[in-house]
Each structure stands twice: as C-alpha cells, then as structure tokens.
A and B are shown apart, each in its own frame.
Chain A
Amino acid sequence: MSVVPNMPKSWREETKPHKFCPGCGHGLVLKALGEAIDELAIQEKVVFGCDIGCSLLSWDFFNCDSVQTHHGRTTPVVTGVKRARPDRICIAYMGDGGGYAIGAQHLVNAAARNERITAILVNNCNYGMTGGQMAPTTLPGMKTQTSPYGRDTDSMGYPTQGPEMVAAIAREGAYVARGTVANVRQLKRYIKSALQNQIDGNGFSFVEALSGCPTNWSTNAQKTWEFIEKEMPQYFKVGEIKTPGKKGE
C-alpha cells in the first residue's frame, strides 16, 4: 500500500522535515495555516512574510512567494506588498518578541490604519531563537534566562495582552482572535476567518496562537502540553475577540 505524508498541499515538501525543534508549536501553527490556505484555494496569491526569531525558519516552508524581514518589521514589509499588489493575500508571520516588543509600533499602527493584511503571531512566552530570554508575554513567576528568579510583576509588569490591544485599536472591519496549538482545528478556523477577512477587504486581521517552545522551556511532552493548556490560558483567553459587524464574544 502506498501511503504519503498528509502534509498541506501548500507546504513545500522538499524542505521537510522542517527546521523547527522537536515538538515546537511553530510546526502546528504552520500546519493550520497551510490547511487554511489549501481550503481557501489561495496558494497562488499568497505572499508570506516571516520575521527574525524562530519564525524565520519558515522562509522556505511554503510553495508560496516568501520574504524574510528584519526583526519586528514583517508587518510593514507585508503592508507594502499589499499596497503595491492589492490582489495578493499578504501574511505577516512573527513571534511574540517580534510583534509585542521590537515590532509593537508596527503592529499597533497597522491595526490603527486597518491595513488589509493578516498578521499571525506565535506566543511562546519567550524569545525562542536567542535562547529563551524573557519576553513581554512571559508569565508572572516564570523563569527564563533573563528572569532566573521568575518574572517579577513589580519591576517587569504583566504579560502583554496582544489581541486585546489590537482589538481596542482596530476599527470596524477588523478580525482579531486568540487560538492555541492545543486545539488545531479551532486555530485553523480562526486563521481561515482572518484570511477570509482580508479576501473580503474588510480590514486588518490578527490571530495570536498560544504555542510551545519545549527547547527553552526545558519541558518533556507532558509538561509542554500542561504549560500550554493550563498555565498560559490563565493569562491569555482563547477565543474570537473582534469580528466584523459585531463586537467580541
């Protein structure tokens, strides 16, 4: 019997196995994105932008036009592509460090201008690629390379609520949601809705995905799922936050 791997059609098979660590959530987010691209039949139109950070390991991930940008600058690069070629479906793919720290101004202003692009942000509670430093999304008390005694909320504040921030800034027509790799089917639905929102020309669309970084968390599979399913949702609420035509859930 000849069986082939069940990869999304839009994945570029010759670059698989992909470059992410064993158990990395990026693979699951990109699986959900790949299936969403397939189901919407938009592969030929997609321009995929990835950031610095582990997201850049996806520079050759899809059989789609792809561009890799400077840290935090994926949103404006992809915005430029969309303005020059409004017929393209433009996706900015980034990490939490890229989107909420060094690229926060770009995310905020793209949302404020209601740019017709789709931003997808992988929240793994740390700067993964550089070895696990504290990020804006690091949980209170969570130990990282740069918060060895745990994040102290007195001096370092609380985790950034990205989608809530974007939803507060974005105008009517925007789509904002937070999914999780613990529910890939739901995550795919959110990403599909975000892309559909761009196709319909409604406005900005943004999906944050709660995701695992077993390498820097130093977690085995059981502890990785536990952190994603039990710890992260205490600060990050999963669901649709803003949809065109109606106010959040």
Chain B
Amino acid sequence: MTTNAYKMKQVETTKSVFTIFTGLCKGCGLCIEKCPTKTLHWSDTLGVYGTPSVEPKENDNCTACGMCALVCPDCAIVIERKK
C-alpha cells in the first residue's frame, strides 16, 4: 500500500533497472561504499535534504546484486534485474 508518492529517478544499466527514490535518499553515501563494482556515484539529482543522491554511472558494471538497496537505512533504492 503506497500512501506517499516519493520523487524518484530511474537509470537503466545493462543488467538492471536502478530506481532511486530521491524523496527518501538522505545522501549518506553508505551504498556507494558498499557497491562491489564501484559503479555507484553521487548524482546531480538532489535528495530529500538537498544533498546529492546517488546513481550508477558505469552502466556495464552494475551486476544487479542489490547490495546498495540492502544497506540503505532509508529504503531509497530498488534494483530490478533485467531478464
């Protein structure tokens, strides 16, 4: 059940659809540090506190492992693996 429509942005990588809910992202950077392929970076799109949110940049590198979503304390990332 969704009561809030959070601002969001989607980035398609080779293996995943990466959704960042900028309306939830506080720009802590915990996810960037945990991305095993170092493909997550600061984004020009701002998060809920007006600080940079995050997005994958080297699109071929994202393995859709979901680590970034797992370690986000604010549930701001959703990773969908492409078929």
Contacts and interface: CB of A to CB of B under 8 A. Distances in A.
B19 A3 contact: yes
Interface string B27-65: 111101110000000000000110100000000000000
A218 to B, nearest CB: 14
A28 B71 contact: yes
Interface residues of B, number: 32
Interface bin, chain A: 20 to 34
Interface stretch (A13-21, A44-52, A200-208): A13-21
Given A16-B74, A16-B75, A22-B49, A6 B30 contact: no
Interface string B71-83: 1011110101000
A214 B74 contact: no
A28 B75 CA distance: 9
Contacts, number: 75
A31 B49 CA distance: 21
Contact of A214 (B6, B28, B48): B28
B23 A17 contact: yes
A31 B26 contact: no
Interface in A1-58: 1, 3-7, 11, 13-14, 16-18, 20-28, 31
Nearest to A212: B30
Interface string A156-186: 0000000000000000000000000000110
Given A17-B48, A221-B32, A225-B33, A7 B75 contact: yes
9 contacts: A1-B17, A4-B2, A4-B78, A5-B24, A16-B74, A23-B73, A31-B75, A221-B29, A225-B34
Interface of A: 1, 3-7, 11, 13-14, 16-18, 20-28, 31, 184-185, 214, 220-222, 224-225
